Amino acid sequence: MIKFRIICLLVITFCFLPLAHCAAPFTSVTATVTDSDAQTWNNCSWGVTFIPNPAYPNSSTYNYNGVSITSLTYNSYLQQNGSCNGAGALTVTLLDNVAITPGGSSWRFTIKPNASVAATVYSSLPVSGSSLSLSSFLSANSVVIRFPASRSSDAYGYSDTEVNPVPVPGGQYFNVITATTRQWTGSIWQSIIGGTGAYLPINGGTLTGSLTDTFGFIGPLTGLASLNLPLIGGTLSGSLTDLSGFIGPLTGNTTGTNTGHSTLDLALTGGNLTGITTSNSSIRTSTLNSTLNASSCNLSPVPSWCSGSDLGAWLNAAATQLSGGGIITIESGSYNITTPIVIPGGVSYNIQGSGTENTIINYTPTTGTAFNFSGHGFMGGTLMDFTLNGPGAATSTTGFMLSASGGTSAWRVNVRNFGTGITFGNNNYVTYWAQSSIRANNIALNYPIGLSNSGENMIFDHVSLSNGAQTDGTSTGQNCVQILNGTSGTSAEFTFISSSFDACQVVLGSNNGLKVTMISPHFEQFDAVMDGPFVKCTSTDAGKHCTLNLLYPQFSVNAPTVTADAYIDLISYGELHMDTPRTFGFGGISAPNAYVGISGTGSAIFNSAGIFFQGAGVPAVISTTTGGNTPSLLYTPVFTNAPVNQTICWVASGILGHCTSIVGAGGACTCVQ
């Protein structure tokens, strides 16, 4: 009996050695996932997790042959991750669920194929026995691989079949089996060889020349596709159709037709592009038939003519390259520049942005001139569709300098946040600026005294000039619009057509025989205090009057407080011809005393015509003259039966007033000042 007990004790002791778990063997699980496309999930990623019986959700309650599964001995088996081999096979060792107590536990697999799709999460299942294959279970319940592809996508997968939906021509993905990029031509899938590939639709044409570097070209030369290669020393001919695309550079010649929704994107040097562009086609190029894209200097490869590191330098380089003149385009974007733009003279340039809110040039230095457009001769050039933005109105900066140029025009070109928005130099005439905003500058527009051979027929059409410094006009440099602001100089012939002057005072000086004309101008003051006139016309030279023609002006007063005596000041030899003005207040609680104030030693001229509408409560057409001025007052009679208080009349010889009674058939009324 003693021997028997000793033997039993030894057996019991042996069962509790660390190798005791051999009594409950592990299960070696293998599997190869093959989806419904018959594609094995080569190099897939997998994970497997222990799932408790819902009746016993706490994993710490489970034992494996009497030992807790959360112990150091078994814890590492509860959550495992790994990768499939190149044939799609996986192997993992799991705890046999039959040997786990309490019963009812299972394992859940999550497997992600080597493709740009989400992982498949499988239903949990128990495992048992020394070995078990789950190939059938995992394959039958796998989610078939489907992913989209585009020209710029990072898609990847095992085969062309997996791409869904069918992409546009040029759509591509990376094939993980062949380690190549596959591209859809519009009819077939083909591999891109050598790093970068090309698919070109040429209908009835040929591609000749040499392909360089690691770029590859794979046909056919028909259908819908894209070409992305440097073509050197050859000729590209034919037609780009439908959704085709071409990305250069191309050195040589290209001919043909760009139709449908095609996009031609190339750096063309040393040749010409001929043919037509129709429908929604576009051409994006650094050089094309005397056209340069300044923004292409920020692309790779950089065109050979580019220099410098900002748009200012690129525009200068483009103008130098186009020595005979041409078109310089600027793509959408906000461009910070420190290099002043200096467009050389002698030829005509058209500089075109992509819209005032899309193309914005930000000049960041606090001194200097941002844009010099000068020296172009008659009909010298055009500016279009961009905004020039400065560092602030308090800086010593100028937005545009126009000089030595006849016929310069600007369409939809905004200027803002400069010390001076636009100024002029010698030999500048026949300037036309339209549909633009010149605002938030200290001085919006300055035509200085002392210029020679300048000032003929300067037109601003539907331009908004606003937010300049409005003062009483006594300090030079503190007024929004200045034309010959001084007592001497040459002459200037400015015309403003349907333009607005919002919180923007106009100061005019001596003008030798010419005049400033405003047709249907809009004057508005919306600051807290209107402390000066809208227009100040000053000349101390009897032979050089300050001459202003105002046709159908609108004066709007929003300021709660008005200290100005009149809307317009004629000083000394100021001369005003005004027809049918109208005044109106938008919330203002006061108004100037009169339309026109006359002051200073001299002999001003005021020639009035039409009905004077006085909706803002202006009591008189003209205020009492001061400073010994002896003005000449001329009046063209208006129609009879005009409304009360809206017709000017003679109070006495040389004194204008307004009617307080209905104008009779003979033009008579009760006239008061």
DSSP string over 78-130: SEEEEE--TTSEEEEEEE-GGGEESS--EEEEEEE-SSSSPPEEPPPB---SS
Identify the pLDDT of residue 491: 79
Instruction: Tell me the pLDDT of the chain averaged across its residues.
Output: 76
User: Are 513 and 460 found together in one domain?
Assistant: yes
Domain count, the chain: 4
Domain boundary (230, 258, 286) is at: 258
How many Cβ atoms are within 10 Å of 624's Cβ, its own excluded?
13
Domain boundary (115, 140, 165) is at: 140
Give me the DSSP letters along 324-353.
Answer: T-EEEE--SEEEEE-SPEEE-SSS-EEEE-
Q: In this structure, is residue 243 part of a structural domain?
A: yes
Burial state string for 471-500 with b = 16 or more CB within 10 A and e = fewer than 16: eebeeeebbbbbbbbbeebbbbbbbbeebb
Identify the pLDDT of residue 573: 86
User: Are 452 and 540 found together in one domain?
Assistant: yes
- On the question of pLDDT at 281 being above 60, the answer is no
- On the question of pLDDT at 594 being above 70, the answer is yes
Residue range 9-33, pLDDT digits in tens = 333 333 343 443 444 579 999 999 9
User: Are 33 and 118 found together in one domain?
Assistant: yes
Q: In this structure, is residue 95 part of a structural domain?
A: yes
Cβ atoms of 499 and 464 within 8 Å: the answer is yes
Tell how far CA 107 is from the center of its chain: 55
Q: In this structure, is residue 13 part of a structural domain?
A: no
Identify the pLDDT of residue 375: 58
Which residue range forms the structural domain that includes residue 206? 156-258
Task: Give the neighbor-by-neighbor strand order of the sheet with 189-192.
Answer: 156-157, 172-175, 180-184, 189-192
Q: With bands split at pLDDT 50, 70 and 90, how would you rate the model's confidence at 2?
A: very low
User: Are 455 and 592 found together in one domain?
Assistant: yes
Cβ atoms of 584 and 612 within 8 Å: the answer is no
Q: In this structure, is residue 234 part of a structural domain?
A: yes
Q: In this structure, is residue 362 part of a structural domain?
A: no
Kindly report the CATH number assigned to the domain that includes residue 40: 2.60.40.10
Selection from 334, 391, 390 nearest residue 360 by Cα: 334
User: Are 101 and 247 found together in one domain?
Assistant: no
Identify the pLDDT of residue 303: 84
User: Are 588 and 528 found together in one domain?
Assistant: yes
Predicted TM-score (pTM) of the model is 0.58
Q: In this structure, is residue 215 part of a structural domain?
A: yes
DSSP state at residue 223: S
Q: In this structure, is residue 309 part of a structural domain?
A: no
- On the question of pLDDT at 596 being above 50, the answer is yes
C-alpha–C-alpha distance, residues 13 and 11, integer Å: 5
Give me the mean pLDDT over the 138-146 stretch: 96
C-alpha–C-alpha distance, residues 357 and 374, integer Å: 25
Residue range 422-472, pLDDT digits in tens = 999 888 888 999 999 999 999 999 999 888 888 889 999 999 998 765 444
C-alpha–C-alpha distance, residues 102 and 645, integer Å: 104
User: Are 465 and 609 found together in one domain?
Assistant: yes
Q: In this structure, is residue 148 part of a structural domain?
A: no
- Residue 138: in which H helix or E strand, if any? helix 135-140
| Residue showing tokens 């001596």 | 510
User: Are 570 and 648 found together in one domain?
Assistant: no
C-alpha–C-alpha distance, residues 150 and 366, integer Å: 46
User: Are 85 and 233 found together in one domain?
Assistant: no
User: Are 588 and 454 found together in one domain?
Assistant: yes
Residue range 243-261, pLDDT digits in tens = 334 444 433 334 333 333 3
Cα three-residue angle 344-350-354, rounded to 5 degrees: 125
At 173, list the tokens: 């993905």
DSSP state at residue 249: -
**Of the ranges 196-210, 296-310, 324-338, 417-431, which one carries the lowest mean pLDDT score?**
196-210
C-alpha–C-alpha distance, residues 397 and 414, integer Å: 16
First-last CA distance in the chain: 145
User: Are 89 and 207 found together in one domain?
Assistant: no
Domain boundary (210, 232, 258) is at: 258
- On the question of pLDDT at 116 being above 70, the answer is yes
Identify the pLDDT of residue 412: 97
User: Are 652 and 623 found together in one domain?
Assistant: no
C-alpha–C-alpha distance, residues 556 and 540, integer Å: 29
Residue range 341-393, pLDDT digits in tens = 998 777 788 999 999 999 999 999 999 999 998 755 555 689 999 999 999 99
